[in-house]
Amino acid sequence: MAIKTRITEMFGIETPLVMGGMTGVGYADLVAAVANAGALGFITAHMFASAEALEAEIKRCRDQTDKPIGVNLTILPSLNPIPYDEYRRAIIESKVTIVETAGRNPVDHMPDFKANGVRVIHKCTSARHSVSAEKLGVDVISIDGF
């Protein structure tokens, strides 16, 4: 039985359940299983060394489901450069239309995402961050914390 909410309508899913990006397990097999169960899952971009590897994982996921899937882009400081711009390109070129961002706000990514019809869910840990994300134009705010 499908449950109809603003989230299910916005993302074309059957149940208003979202499996956010999870380091170590956010691979195609789990994301496809979540999608096939009617919910929304996110491949975790930063687990892949390159945009090409991320694109391959998106394809592998799509080989297992025709339901909506997303990509998590957690924006964090790092000693080793993380190819965020290349990940963004891979997301857009792979025609992924749902991105979950977390960490630092996605200000650098929003223009390209919006220009290409990508909806953005931003994970926030405070009301202050939520207000900032809303001003940036994210589509959904996910409040995470204790």
Which residues, at least 6 apart from 76, have a Cβ–Cβ distance to it below 8 Å? 46, 82, 103, 104
CA dist., res. 88 & res. 85, Å (int): 5
Give the pLDDT of the chain (146 residues) as one tens digit per residue. Answer: 678 999 999 999 999 999 999 999 999 999 999 999 999 999 999 999 999 999 999 999 999 999 999 999 999 988 888 999 999 999 999 999 999 999 999 999 999 999 999 999 999 999 999 999 999 999 999 998 76
Q: Is 101 helix (H, G, I), strand (E, B) or coil?
A: strand
Q: For position 89, what pLDDT does the model report?
A: 98
Which tokens belong to 146?
Answer: 């204790």
Which residues, at least 6 apart from 118, have a Cβ–Cβ distance to it below 8 Å? 91, 92, 96, 97, 98, 99, 112
Burial class (CB in 10 A: 0-12, 13-18, 19+), 138: buried
Q: Are 108 and 129 in contact (CB under 8 A)?
A: no
Residue type (1 letter), 35: A
CA dist., res. 120 & res. 23, Å (int): 19
Burial class (CB in 10 A: 0-12, 13-18, 19+), 44: buried
| Nearest alpha carbon to residue 132 among 113, 105, 108, 114 | 105
* pTM score of the predicted model: 0.94
